[in-house]
């Protein structure tokens, strides 16, 4: 007699191609980060306001160069896929974002390490970048979970994650230590594959209002 397996999902091998890829949108283009982008990243990203709640402390060109090197090192280990965010209309780099903590065996990935130049915040940039990355995660990699996290004190980031349709899960206390030596509590958000269809509709609707 065949035994029933209520709610059990048989694990099968998934291949997530973590090789660099360009994600094309109408308003932004996510390009694989490389060392040649460092000067443009400095032009967009040395405002100290951008780094107040992050793990990193980026104040100089040398800091940014180290930031890029660390991102590329993680890419080389197959656990990260960093991008620069380019505004299509101006052809300028206006920020950066990343797939991280890539976990193929659990069909899970994190979207984070995101910053956007102050002039482009609360515009189409973050909305379309998240749409491109979530589409890639759910429809190309077939992920079942995409997670996001931020400093528990960063209410602006909390609200941005809620606006894209992520669900707040909870807080991990003293989860990490920042470059400045501060203990940081992280609040986690997620989107799972069953929610993706509605989340995608909402993101597309937001872009249509631009």
Report pLDDT digits (tens) over 152-209.
999 989 898 998 899 999 999 989 888 788 898 999 999 999 999 999 999 999 998 8
Calculate the average pLDDT of the chain.
91
- What pLDDT does 9 receive? 45
CA atoms in the 13 A half-sphere facing the CB of 186: 14
Lowest mean pLDDT among 26-35, 105-114, 159-168: 159-168
Q: What percent of the chain lies above the pLDDT cut of 70?
A: 93
| Any domain includes 15 | no
Residue 13 lies in a domain: no
CATH (domain of 187): 3.40.630.30
- Residue 3 falls within a domain, yes or no? no
Starting from the edge strand earliest in sequence, which strands make up the sheet with 92-103, in order? 23-24, 28-32, 80-87, 92-103, 108-116, 145-151, 183-192, 167-177
Domain residue limits at 77: 23-208
Count of structural domains, the chain:
1
Residue 111 lies in a domain: yes
How far apart CA 75 and CA 67 sit, in angstroms, is 13
Bridge partners (DSSP) listed for residue 145: 108, 192
């Amino acid at each position: 007699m065949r035994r029933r397996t209520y709610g059990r999902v048989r694990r099968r091998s998934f291949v997530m191609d973590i090789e660099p890829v360009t994600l094309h949108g109408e308003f932004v283009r996510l390009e694989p980060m490389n060392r040649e982008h460092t000067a443009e990243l400095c032009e967009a990203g040395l405002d100290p306001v951008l780094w107040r709640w992050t793990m990193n402390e980026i104040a100089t060109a040398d800091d940014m160069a180290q930031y890029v090197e660390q991102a590329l090192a993680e890419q080389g280990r197959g656990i990260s896929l960093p991008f620069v965010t380019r505004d299509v209309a101006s052809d300028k780099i206006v920020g950066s974002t990343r797939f991280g903590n890539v976990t193929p065996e659990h069909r899970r990935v994190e979207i984070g390490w995101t910053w956007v130049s102050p002039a482009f915040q609360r515009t189409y940039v973050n909305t379309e970048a998240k749409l491109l990355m979530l589409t890639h995660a759910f429809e190309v990699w077939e992920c079942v979970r995409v997670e996001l996290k931020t400093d528990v004190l960063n209410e602006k980031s909390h609200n941005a994650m809620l606006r894209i349709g992520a669900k707040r899960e909870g807080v991990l206390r003293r989860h990490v230590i920042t470059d400045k030596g501060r203990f940081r509590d992280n609040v986690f958000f997620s989107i799972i594959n069953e929610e993706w269809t509605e989340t995608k509709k909402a993101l597309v609707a937001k872009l249509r209002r631009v």
